[in-house]
């Protein structure tokens, strides 16, 4: 039978020792190994273009104008250092207005280049907020609609742009888990390489 004093002493030693081992040794060792074995992945999977870093493959960016593929709507202004959910509820009036506006804007932007486009063709990801605010991907359906616009503006044949899309499709995990998506930053980098704006 141990007294409270002995328990407190054991407890104090345990608390300090575990903080050193689990709080410092463990993360620092994992960081060291990761930096040696997977430096690219451990430092944010950066993407370069024209000799400079233009973003992370994993973090979506804002793209404006007709010459780029656009990312999904973001509630955070595509922030990579202050994230939050849009928190639009299923029965929210603001939610309905937001989807309405997004739908109208999407059609206005893309319909001139894709005459047959109707509301019913617009995939859900194109007009709803992502969770992270920086979803790096869009659906393949979304990319194929935008391809008409981007091809026309850049003066590229449509099938060439569609080939670029196919080149940056990320499949399901192990072929099964999650959904395929098109990486928007990589697609726009590929576009800039194929048909630079300037």
Partner 1 sequence: MVQGYVQIAIFFAVVLAVVKPLGIYMAKVFRGERVFLTPVLGPVERGAYKVLRVRPEEEGQDWKQYAKSLIVFSLLFWVLLYLILRTQGLDPWNPRGFHSAPWDVTFNTVSSFVTNTNWQYYGGEVTLSYFAQMAGLAVQNFVSAAVGIAVLVALIRGLAARSGRSLGNFWQDVVRILLYVLVPIAVVGALVLASQGVIENLSGYTVIHTLSGGTQVLGQGPVASQEAIKLLGTNGGGFFNVNSAFPFENPSGFTNVVEMFLILIIPASLTYTYGRMIGSQRQGWAIFAAMAVLLIAGTVVAYVAEQHGTPAQHLAGLHTHAMDGSTGGNMEGKEQRFGIASSALFTAVTTATSTGAVNNAFESLTGIGGAVPFSNLGFSEVIFGGVGSGLYSMLLYAILAVFIGGLMVGRTPEYLGKKIGAREIKLVALGVLVTPLTVLLSAGLAAAAPAGTRSLYAGFTPQGFSETLYAYLSQANNNGSAWAGYTGFLQPHGPGNVGAYGISFTDLLGGLVLIAGRFLPILFVLAVAGALAGKKVSPAGLGTMRTDNPTFVFLLLGIVVLVGALTFFPAILLGPVVQGLSTRLF
**83 to 112, contacts with partner 1 by CB under 8 A?**
83-93, 95-100, 103
Phi, psi torsion values for 55, nearest 5 degrees: 150, -170
List all residues 6 or more positions away from 186 whose beta carbon is below 8 Å from its beta carbon.
47, 57, 168
β-pairing, 137-138 vs 181-183, is antiparallel
**What letters, b where the CB count within 10 A reaches 16 and e where it falls short, cover 80-112?**
beeeeebeeeeeeeebeebbeebeeebbeebbe
Q: Does 44 bind partner 1 (CB under 8 A)?
A: yes
Mark the segment that binds partner 1 (CB under 8 A) among 45-53, 108-116, 146-154, 155-163. 45-53
Mark the segment that binds partner 1 (CB under 8 A) among 28-36, 108-116, 146-154, 155-163. 28-36
Q: Does 15 bind partner 1 (CB under 8 A)?
A: yes
Selected from 74, 78, 110, 161, the binder of partner 1 by CB under 8 A is: 78
Q: Does 76 bind partner 1 (CB under 8 A)?
A: yes
Q: Which is nearer to partner 1, 25 or 112 (CB)?
A: 25
């Amino acid at each position: 039978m141990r007294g409270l004093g002995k328990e407190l002493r054991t407890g104090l030693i345990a608390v300090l020792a575990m903080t050193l081992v689990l709080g410092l040794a463990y993360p620092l060792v994992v960081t060291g190994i990761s930096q040696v074995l997977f430096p690219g992945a451990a430092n944010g999977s950066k993407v370069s273009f024209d000799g400079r870093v233009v973003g992370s493959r994993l973090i979506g960016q804002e793209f404006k104008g007709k010459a780029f593929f656009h990312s999904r709507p973001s509630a955070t202004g595509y922030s990579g250092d202050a994230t939050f959910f849009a928190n639009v509820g299923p029965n929210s009036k603001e939610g309905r207005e937001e989807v309405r506006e997004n739908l109208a804007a999407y059609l206005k932007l893309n319909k001139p280049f894709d005459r047959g486009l109707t509301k019913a063709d617009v995939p859900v990801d194109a007009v709803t907020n992502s969770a992270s605010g920086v979803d790096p991907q869009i659906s393949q359906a979304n990319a194929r609609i935008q391809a008409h616009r981007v091809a026309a503006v850049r003066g590229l044949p449509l099938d060439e742009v569609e080939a670029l899309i196919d080149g940056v499709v990320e499949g399901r995990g192990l072929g099964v888990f999650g959904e395929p998506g098109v990486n928007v930053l990589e697609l726009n980098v590929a576009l800039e390489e194929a048909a630079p704006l300037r």
